[in-house]
């Protein structure tokens, strides 16, 4: 297999590596679904996948189109409702890890996924909060992904609290599960961790072909660099094959897929469209 990979694939695979066996994992739609399926298939076979809508122990058959996509699953252990996911599961400390996308993030892992600009006169509305603030507050750890977002000194809006002002300020507030907070931030250029004492973000891994100087250009504060800085381990052939078979469109990216489809004059009829996408999957990602 050709081991070239897209940025979507790299981020997917890094997320999957963050999941540990036997963990209770809350996921939404999008990249985390593929990552969780990969983790269960590779190294975390006993992880329990849960959706915000209340599916517990579900086994995705295809990528979800939303958090309540029951038809995308082979089955599930049991189901509950959205309210109970927060009150019975998250608030009582039964969520080990969750994954959140970032619009803006500061050095202590506080995030904005609500608006860019002033709240009453915003430049752009983001999709948050949804359940982000609740899961970020009560999951034992949170993995952040920054794809098209920004590192900022000060958030335009605080959607979900990370380590607040750093140090022990999160635990001292008494509002969150003790010891909880962001553990990792994954961007298109590197992987960041949080200092155990100061809680300030630092660079732990730079992605292949990306220099520290390139990463620093995106960050408005004096970024700390791990003395043990390593290069991100590239995806293995097995990880890539699994990812591409489960979600080929996500692997090449929605924009690239649309461009390819438009070049082929993709017909706008559902039955022909489905056949075309199946052909696309087989052309690019079939097993040799």
Torsion of CA 216, 123, 103, 230, to 10 degrees: -10
b/e map 53-80, b = 16+ CB within 10 Å: bbbbebebeebbeebbbeebbeebeeee
Q: Give catalytic residue positions.
A: 52
d(CA 154, CA 105): 8
d(CA 186, CA 143): 8
> How far is CA 195 from each of CA 126, 144, 192, 200, 269, rounded to the nearest angstrom?
29, 15, 10, 5, 53
Torsion of CA 148, 154, 156, 161, to 10 degrees: 80
């Amino acid at each position: 297999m050709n081991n070239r990979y897209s940025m979507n694939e790299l981020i997917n695979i890094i997320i999957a590596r963050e999941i540990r066996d036997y963990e209770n994992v809350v996921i939404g739609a999008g990249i985390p679904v593929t990552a969780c399926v990969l983790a269960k298939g590779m190294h975390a076979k006993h992880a329990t996948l849960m959706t915000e809508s209340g599916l517990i122990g579900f086994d995705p058959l295809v990528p979800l189109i939303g958090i309540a996509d029951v038809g995308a699953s082979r089955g599930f252990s049991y189901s509950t409702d959205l309210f109970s996911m927060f009150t019975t599961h998250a608030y009582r400390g039964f969520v080990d890890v969750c994954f959140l996308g970032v619009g803006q993030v500061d050095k202590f892992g506080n995030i904005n996924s609500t608006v860019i600009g002033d709240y009453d006169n915003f430049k752009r509305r983001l999709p948050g909060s949804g359940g982000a603030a609740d899961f970020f507050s009560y999951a034992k750890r949170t993995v952040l992904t920054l794809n098209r977002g920004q590192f900022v000194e000060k958030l335009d809006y605080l959607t979900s609290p990370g380590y607040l002002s750093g140090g022990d300020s999160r635990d001292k507030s008494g509002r969150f599960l003790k010891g909880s907070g962001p553990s990792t931030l994954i961007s298109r250029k590197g992987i960041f961790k949080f200092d155990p004492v100061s809680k300030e973000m630092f660079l732990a891994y730079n992605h292949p072909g990306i220099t520290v100087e390139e990463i620093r250009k995106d960050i408005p504060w004096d970024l700390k660099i791990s003395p043990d800085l390593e290069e991100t381990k590239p995806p293995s052939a097995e990880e890539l094959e699994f990812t591409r078979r489960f979600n080929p469109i996500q692997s090449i990216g929605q924009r690239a897929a649309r461009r390819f489809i438009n070049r082929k004059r993709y017909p706008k009829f559902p039955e022909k469209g489905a056949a075309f996408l199946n052909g696309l999957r087989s052309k690019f990602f079939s097993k040799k």
